[in-house]
Amino acid sequence: MRWIRVNDDMPLNGKVGDLTDTEYRALMALWAYCSRRGNGGSFLRGELRHAIYTTPRGPRFVRDTHLDRFVEVGLVREDDGVFVVNDWTKYQPKDPTAAERMRRHRERTDA
């Protein structure tokens, strides 16, 4: 299991505040997808269908309209067809202790 870090000021960020609830869920799904893939916050538009979130009506995936909105408000940028979550490495730094902690966690859960 991977984790994402969310700054406690994030709900006060004007870019995030401009999102609808559905767009916010889609943003969280996109961040989780990037974390699972270990892609450094970079992805292609065609990967959006793999970024899934739930709603009361069932699972949904991040759509092109969500991505366009994230670009519009400045949460994501496009660079030659590759999309990048802004400030990904600032908020999702590489953790040199992560592998060891995960090994210990797996040992505890497998026991």
Q: What is the mean pLDDT of residues 53-82?
A: 96
- Per-residue pLDDT for 99 more than 70? no
Domain ranges of the chain: 10-110
Q: How far apart are the C-alpha atoms of 97 and 27, rounded to whole Å?
A: 27
Look at residue 110 and tell me whether its pLDDT is greater than 90.
no
What is the chain's mean pLDDT, rounded?
A: 91
Q: What single-letter amino acid sits at 38?
A: G
* The predicted structure's pLDDT at residue 75: 97
Average pLDDT over residues 40-54: 96
- Beta strands (DSSP E) in the chain are 42-44, 52-55, 58-61, 76-79, 82-85
The pLDDT assigned to 33 comes to 97
- Mean predicted confidence (pLDDT) in 35-63: 95
